[in-house]
């Protein structure tokens, strides 16, 4: 068992990185709590990897500072920072066995008796029986664990993970998500995980920061961000959302009514982030239910009529694409907990949802076409 120790918060203050006229990271202000598993999530080109490289000391910031606790590390070279990085490629030494790969950092520091620390690390990552094997004799997941052990053995304050699971197949990737979270909880080191994979970020992280165009769009617990996104970008990037641009029609003590496409939709005040009259109504596909046209729908539900244009069976769920009367296509995900009785392509249907599941976004300056085409590129 590896003993946990006191670690400090990681602070990024007004961190900016420019490449010529291009601003990759724009005045980033961020505090990552000590001992947390933090995910920096965003599409390609959003600035997440540049941020990681600045924390690692592999890239100099144009402005701003980086500190761990009270220690300002902005001007320190990479090898002098209490930070280690695990890359997607693992970067293991093929000529060394697993024991010596893990021991490498200690030997470079002149530690004479490396055996206790290496054995503790191998036990942590559950690779003790593999100690004398070469990297090529291990699976991708086992190699990843060796890379993590090698990075942790020098007891960094912060461990940076740059798309560490990208080279693994789906099943192994999910296994490693659980393993990395277990390791982080045991050692208590601050993990900063950079990824474009939404499921990966939500599965492992205590806190997720969604990044777009060099800035943080929203940060919080995975469930909070998913259930209540604050911007169109976050609603689209973190999972899928059906969005309808409309106008605030009335406001009550508990909810607002929004008119969109000739219909009325209700949003609880607690789930409405639109300060003005332009409101984008959002509903996650799995919060919707699809029924035959004319079937009974609860009075407290909002609804949309349409026609099924595509059906995809995914095993756990069936995904429907429904074309509305105004021409927009919406997605509906239904659990396959009932055999048969599924809608088919061409069926006239109604889609409905509980009003407590809707959320409202600021639609200022956003047209219906903008909303429908606002899918980010990963």
> Where in the chain are the domains?
10-227, 241-370
Task: Flag the least confident range among 63-72, 128-137, 171-180, 279-288.
Answer: 171-180
| Residue 374: predicted pLDDT | 46
Structure tokens at 17: 């990185």
Q: What percent of the chain has pLDDT over 70?
A: 94
Rg (CA), the chain: 24
| Residue 377: predicted pLDDT | 41
Asked whether 258 and 311 are in contact (CB, 8 A), the reply is no
| Residue 367: predicted pLDDT | 61
Average pLDDT on 236-242 reads 93
Average pLDDT on 196-211 reads 94
| Residue 368: predicted pLDDT | 59
Average pLDDT score, the chain: 91
Average pLDDT on 160-174 reads 83
Average pLDDT on 20-24 reads 96
Average pLDDT on 20-30 reads 96
Q: Which fold has domain 10-227?
A: Rossmann fold (3.40.50)
| Residue 289: predicted pLDDT | 95
Other Cβ atoms closer than 10 A to 278 = 18
Confidence of residue 375 (pLDDT cuts 50, 70, 90): very low
pLDDT at 186 over 50: yes
Homologous superfamily, domain 241-370: Nucleic acid-binding proteins (2.40.50.140)
pLDDT at 174 over 90: no
SS3 of the chain: CCCCCCCCCEEEEEEEEEECCEEEEEEEEEEECCCCEEEEECCCCCCHHHHHHHHHCCCCCCEEEEEECCEECCCCCHHHCCEEEEECCCCCCCCCCHHHHHHHHHHHCCCCCCHHHHHHHHHHCCCHHHCCCCHHHCCHHHHHHHHHHHHHCCCCCEEEEECCCCCCCHHHHHHHHHHHHHHHHHHCCEEEEEECCHHHHHHHCCEEEEEECCEEEEEECHHHHHHCCCCHHHHHHCCCCEEEEEEEEEECCCEEEEEECCEEEEEEHHHECCCCCEEEEEECHHHCEEEECCCCCCCCEEEEEEEEEEEEECCCEEEEEEEECCCCEEEEEEECCCCCCCCCCCCEEEEEEEHHHCEEEECCCCCHHHHHCCCCCC
Structure tokens at 224: 């909070």
Backbone angles phi, psi at 212, to 5 degrees: -150, 125
Confidence of residue 338 (pLDDT cuts 50, 70, 90): confident
Distance of CA 64 to the CA centre of its chain: 25
| Residue 330: predicted pLDDT | 96
pLDDT at 40 over 50: yes
pLDDT at 370 over 70: no
Dihedral sign, Cα of residue 215, residue 220, residue 222, residue 223: negative
Q: Which tens digit of pLDDT belongs to each residue from 261-314?
A: 999 999 999 999 999 899 999 999 999 999 999 899 999 999 999 999 999 998
Average pLDDT on 196-214 reads 94
Query: How far is residue 203's CA from residue 161's CA, in Å, rounded to a whole number?
Result: 15
| Residue 336: predicted pLDDT | 86
Average pLDDT on 120-143 reads 92
Q: What percent of the chain has pLDDT over 90?
A: 78
Confidence of residue 163 (pLDDT cuts 50, 70, 90): confident
């Amino acid at each position: 068992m590896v003993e946990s120790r006191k670690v400090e918060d990681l602070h990024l203050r007004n961190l900016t990185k420019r490449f010529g006229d291009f601003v990759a990271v724009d005045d980033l202000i961020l505090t990552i709590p000590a001992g947390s598993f933090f995910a920096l999530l965003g599409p390609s080109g959003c600035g997440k990897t540049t941020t990681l490289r600045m924390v690692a000391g592999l890239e100099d910031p144009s402005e701003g500072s980086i500190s761990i606790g009270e220690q300002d590390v902005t001007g320190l070279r990479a090898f002098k920072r209490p930070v280690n990085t695990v890359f997607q490629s693992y970067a293991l030494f093929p000529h060394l066995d697993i024991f010596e790969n893990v021991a490498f950092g200690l030997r470079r520091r002149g530690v004479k008796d490396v055996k206790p620390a290496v054995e503790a690390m191998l036990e942590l990552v559950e690779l003790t029986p593999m100690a004398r094997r070469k990297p090529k004799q291990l699976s991708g997941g086992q190699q990843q664990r060796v890379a993590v052990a090698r990075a942790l053995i020098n007891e960094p304050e912060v461990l940076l993970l740059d798309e560490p699971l990208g080279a693994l197949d789906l099943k192994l990737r999910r296994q490693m998500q659980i393993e990395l979270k277990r390791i982080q909880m045991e050692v208590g080191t601050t993990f900063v995980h950079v990824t474009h994979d939404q499921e990966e970020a939500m599965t492992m992280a205590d806190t997720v920061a969604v990044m777009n165009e060099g800035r943080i769009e929203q940060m919080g617990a995975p469930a909070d961000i998913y259930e209540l996104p604050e911007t169109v970008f976050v609603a689209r990037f973190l999972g899928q959302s059906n969005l309808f641009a409309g106008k605030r029609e009335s406001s009550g003590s508990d909810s607002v009514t929004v008119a969109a496409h000739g219909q009325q939709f209700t949003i609880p005040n607690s789930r409405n982030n639109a300060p003005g009259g332009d409101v984008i109504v959002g509903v996650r596909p799995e919060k919707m239910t699809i029924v035959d046209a004319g079937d009974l729908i609860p009075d407290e539900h909002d609804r949309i009529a349409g026609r099924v244009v595509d059906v995809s069976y995914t095993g756990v769920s069936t995904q429907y694409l429904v074309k509305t009367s105004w021409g927009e296509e919406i997605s509906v995900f239904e659990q396959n907990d009932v055999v048969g009785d599924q809608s088919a392509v061409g069926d006239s249907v109604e889609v409905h949802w509980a009003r407590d599941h809707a959320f409202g976004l600021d639609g200022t300056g956003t047209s219906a076409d903008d909303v429908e085409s606002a899918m980010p590129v990963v």
